[in-house]
Chains A and B, each alone.
Chain A
Amino acid sequence: MSELRWNPLLGEWVATATQRQERTFLPPADFCPLCPTKLGGFPTEVPENDYDIVVFENRFPSLKSKPPTPSVEATELYNVSPGQGVCEVVLYSPHHSSTLTDEPVEQIYKLVQVWTDRFRELGALDFVNYVFIFENKGEAIGVTLHHPHGQIYAYPFIPPQIARELDQSRAHHEHTGRCLVCDIIAEERRDGRRVVMENSSFTAYIPFFARYPYEVHIASTRHLQALTDIEHHEQRAMAKILKALLMAYDKLFNLSFPYMMVLHQRPTDGGQYDHYHFHIEFYPPLRTATKLKYLAGSETGAGMFINDTLAEEKAAELRAYVVEGGRD
């Protein structure tokens, strides 16, 4: 069962996807469903092994292109809608024990091109108004399969966090005539203390307003709205800065660093979003090598994040692990 239920208190949709309760949970490496099917072995999700990157529809989707009729009827207060959308899995590599960090820049560059293709194709679907590309990495985030992969959710609506960013960006543009993220990048570069690294096309920084100790945003220097606006040399610069940041993350505590990585792009509903600015955000849950930043009462119940650290100090820590090759 997959459906959308309206939350009138917050003015947002919640997806119910009861079939996801049955999804594969931390199988041993020999039984990874995301590895290529071996000759004589059990059938996995990927019948071939001759590929660079694989994308497929999630076996346990939260949203479906042809969703079932909702299990309950809508009322005046409680709206219900079919859970229409697309949920894809993106395999970064055929190799089970790899991570995005381990992949060479060339592979990340290929991934950027695949992301761009998926944004273009999914965004063109009539029922898709927002394409959300993301990765959950590590058991600390709740990952159930260790094979290196990300996901794409194609929503039938603009999700609330993005809608809020769009509203803020629009209001800033109407007030100043400038792009909000362009101004944030300029402020971060002028100050310098929170910049982790930069190259010709992107700047990586822990924002002044970071909610997580090692939260990093990567924003394009050029004002653009989506992956489809990016030139080839910018795709490559994006791959290089991603690789350098991921390496710094892993070196920070000498472990495979867990994180949520999300790409924030313009909606695909046909509207005008020239005021918006494409960027990537990382939310790592670790605040030390052994302690997690939990989303507890204030964060979850009030939406008020409390960061136990200073962005200026954490950026300096990360900068110490940035290798020169991340720049171009």
Chain B
Amino acid sequence: MEKQENMQGKTLTDRCRVGEIRKNKITLEDGRYLILYSFDQADVRSCATDAGTSNPEPVADEERLV
């Protein structure tokens, strides 16, 4: 079996936006890479909807868990 056949979904590409994630890959001075991941608030709301939450607005976790 080829390795790629067992990889589900697609790989995010550099400085792109797929679904809820924005991914910015930069190269540091010593050649190492660094990836900044960021998410939009709107995406968080859509995720809440995906999860079947009745209230799609973000809710502070302190209210839910503490």
Contacts and interface: CB of A to CB of B under 8 A. Distances in A.
Contacts, number: 111
Please indicate which of the listed interface residues B3, B5, B50, B51 has the most CB atoms of chain A within 10 Å of its own CB.
Answer: B51
A272 interface: yes
Contacts of B44: 106, 109
A233 B35 CA distance: 25
B23 A124 contact: no
Given A105-B65, A106-B61, A229-B8, A270 B36 contact: no
Contact residues on B (Cβ < 8 Å of other chain), bracket = 35 or more
A270 B3 contact: yes
A124 B48 CA distance: 30
Interface stretch (A43-51, A154-162, A284-292): A43-51
A325 interface: yes
A232 interface: yes
A270 B65 CA distance: 40
Given A114-B21, A243-B65, 16 more contacts: A53-B37, A54-B37, A55-B34, A55-B35, A57-B32, A57-B34, A106-B58, A110-B37, A110-B39, A117-B21, A120-B7, A120-B8, A236-B51, A247-B66, A325-B61, A325-B65
Interface of A: 45-48, 50-57, 59, 104-106, 109-110, 113-114, 117, 120-121, 123-124, 126, 226, 228-229, 232-233, 236-237, 243-244, 247, 268-272, 323, 325-326, 328
